[in-house]
Chain A
């Protein structure tokens, strides 16, 4: 996983609530067995018309937002399914951070596993950043994860917080599995405790 330290990039405004995972990546594109290549299907129904041509009115079809690395949206971003194809599609497009008032739980979690930083900020701050991002010449925002601030084009800094462990893993690009395997002895001890428990049956096929 690519570490996330600071990111200075173009921010695309998407002032919508309840951006669901079917919007981010429709189900018909989930039939892949790879993690990459989904960027061209990101927001497929919003980005392309029935003939497959780009819809000029969609933000990610406009310059400079085609090169956006940050997305700013409204409440409940990423609601719906658990599909990790949603963060994969965002990442493949080039999005490394999403700012919104709140996120659906599974999507929020999935972002961290893929080196994407989801930032929760109050709605008023999101709207402020959406206004900044909408002036395309100023669309560049800076996110400093070490210091946990978003820097506006005028230099003002907006603080945010991320849970310590998640921040640590993101800053260093750490793989969860490797870390968990360091707790092998505790896992084995737990299994031994449960060996005779009625709540740990074994499937016999």
Chain B
């Protein structure tokens, strides 16, 4: 291979088992993460065909979507909703039958699959990582090629440890300069989606680069890569660097000692060659990004907190104008309305986008010595049992509970309506999650996506608020 290659090209080339005549590749998968929602039918398919899991040692399963955010010590038996309990217990049976490593609800390491993969060192630079979940893009923050797959592909990976894939196109998103004070990776992610649109990345893998990206810690990089799918991209990744290596070192499943040094030597090669070609390049000035939030029902409907909702009458494309009207009606907002000051009912700090210890700290900083506004329900849901332990060791749980936040156990929680944490119809939520689709957080619920600091600020004032006011 002599032509200059991107990071994606290098990881891809290292994993091609075979190229079929029409250009489809058989791609080897280094790590397969499994959860309870998208796997039952895959295991059922294996069973029906009399197949085994080819490499259980490269597979790791954990329940997260259906898991209530309390009573974890009691395990799956404590799940009250029968269909949720059945799904989790089906996974528990399947991992025994097929010999797949498993982290049960009662284990301190349980958590959202995209939080625990990196946290345990199960996700590493240079790997191909898949999971039956679109936010698998999160793991690209380590410099891995990580993408979501459907259940048929879950079954395919379980049976063969490979996938049939066609190479993606390369999209370089370069964020230059420095983020302003109080501006976070979440704001960067929302600003990028606002700029390129929810289908802007379709067919592409995004490589994030530029000084503002390099300056992010690993938690911020995971937030950014997490939302690549919201821009339609297959995956998002960041070339590994010293920040990455320092993060990986010492994690339970990361290589140790001399093996780690050899790994780092290899990982250092995973940078774009000079002159590497991207199919597209988008440049954004990091210094221009303000704290962002969504006003509508898809993630490209974003504005700075200082902004207003759009006016459909000013939109020349009638289809687009109709869509704006529908979104405003669903969100109970009016054209040209200022976002700051809109009252919220619920605040949700959590999800695979923003539930790492750094996110907890950012929210706690604003919650410290303040009170949640009367009538607002505010939940803080750490992304894993280990994040929860760490936060408690730092006293963050007390800051939250003294301020009137609920401090919950790890899981997907109010990110999607699959467990007891849900919005009721008409409720407005300031949420650190990643999707604001109609009904995503519960039927009829209204979601504003924003950063942990912005969510905490909304909890304190009871309205959408520029978090920089609390700086």
Where the two chains meet, the residues of A that have a C-beta atom closer than 8 Å to any C-beta of B are 15, 17-18, 20, 22-23, 26-28, 30-35, 45, 50, 74-76, 79-84, 87, 102, 104-106, 109-110, 113-114, 163-165, 176-177, 180-181, 183, 186-187, 189-191, 194, 197-205
**What residue of chain A has the Cβ atom nearest to residue B37's Cβ?**
A30
Given contacts A32-B83, A176-B156, contact A105 B439 (CB under 8 A): no
> Which residues of B are found within 8 Å of A28, using beta-carbon distances?
417-418, 443
- The CA of A84 and the CA of B152, in the complex, are separated in Å by 8
Chain A residues within an 8 Å CB radius of B418: 27-28, 30-31
User: Which of A83, A165, A201 has most B Cβ within 10 Å?
Assistant: A201
Is B306 located at the chain interface by the 8 A CB criterion? no
Q: A33-B44, A82-B134, A177-B49 are in contact. List 5 more A-B contacts (CB 8 A).
A: A27-B440, A180-B164, A186-B26, A187-B26, A201-B255
Most buried by A among B132, B150, B198: B150
The reply to whether A199 and B161 contact each other, CB–CB distance below 8 Å, is no
Question: Given the complex, which residues of A lie within 8 Å of B83, measured CB to CB?
Answer: 31-32
What are 30 A-B contacts with C-beta separation under 8 Å? A20-B298, A23-B438, A26-B417, A30-B65, A31-B37, A33-B40, A33-B41, A33-B87, A45-B443, A50-B425, A76-B198, A76-B199, A81-B148, A82-B150, A83-B37, A84-B152, A106-B148, A165-B20, A177-B156, A180-B159, A180-B164, A183-B162, A186-B17, A186-B18, A187-B160, A190-B28, A194-B28, A198-B259, A201-B253, A203-B253
**Known contacts A183-B17, A202-B58, A203-B58; is A79 also within 8 Å of B259 by CB?**
no
Interface string of B85-97 (1 = CB under 8 A from A): 0110010000000
- B287 CB to nearest chain A CB (Å): 30
Provided the pairs A105-B203, A177-B156 are in contact, do residues A22 and B440 lie with their beta carbons within 8 angstroms?
Answer: yes
Q: Are B234 and A165 interface neighbours, CB within 8 A?
A: no
- Could you say which residues of chain A place their CB within 8 Å of the CB of B134? 80-82, 106
- Are A181 and B160 touching (Cβ within 8 A)? yes
Contacts of A33 in B (CB 8 A): 40-41, 44, 86-87, 90
Bound-complex Cα distance A50 to B442 (A): 13
Most buried by A among B134, B159, B161: B134
The answer, yes or no, to whether B266 is at the interface (CB within 8 Å) is: yes
B294 contacts chain A at the CB level, 8 A cutoff: no
Determine the distance from Cα of A197 to Cα of B101 in the docked complex, in whole angstroms: 22
Residues of B within 8 A of A (CB): 14, 17-18, 20, 22, 24, 26, 28, 30, 37-38, 40-41, 44, 49, 51, 57-60, 65-66, 81, 83-84, 86-87, 90, 101-102, 122, 124-127, 132-134, 136, 148-153, 155-156, 159-162, 164, 166, 198-199, 202-203, 232, 234, 253-255, 259, 262-263, 266-267, 298, 319, 323, 416-418, 425, 435, 437-440, 443-444
Q: For residue B327, give the distance in angstroms from its CB to the closest CB of chain A.
A: 10
Determine if A82 and B202 form an interchain contact, defined as CB atoms under 8 angstroms apart.
no
Cα–Cα, bound, A23→B435 (Å): 12
Given contacts A27-B440, A31-B87, A82-B150, contact A75 B199 (CB under 8 A): yes
Contact A22 B439 (CB under 8 A): yes
CB neighbours of A83 from chain B (8 A):
37-38, 150
- Residues of B near A198 (CB, < 8 A) are 126, 255, 259, 262-263, 266-267
- Smallest Cβ distance from A74 to chain B, in angstroms? 7
With a cutoff of 8 Å between Cβ atoms, the chain A residues found around residue B125 in the complex are 199
CA separation between A205 and B166, bound complex, in Å? 33
Instruction: Tell me the complex Cα distance, A28–B152, Å.
Output: 21
Complex alpha-carbon distance, A75 and B300, angstroms? 14
B30 touches A200 (CB 8 A): yes
A74 pairs with B132, CB closer than 8 A: no
Known: A35-B41, A84-B151. A181 touches B232 (CB 8 A): no
A105→B202 contact, CB < 8 A: yes
| Cross-chain contact B84 with A31 (CB below 8 angstroms) | yes
A82 to B146, CA, bound (A): 13
**Nearest Cβ distance between residue B85 and chain A, in whole angstroms?**
9
By a CB distance below 8 angstroms, the chain B residues around A74 are 319
Contacts of B102 in A (CB 8 A): 205
- Contact assessment for B24 and A80 in the assembled complex, using a CB-CB cutoff below 8 Å: no
Closest 8 pairs (CB-CB, A-B): A198-B263, A113-B152, A33-B40, A110-B150, A84-B150, A31-B83, A82-B148, A84-B151
B416 to chain A, nearest CB (A): 4
List the A residue with the shortest CB-CB distance to B45. Answer: A177
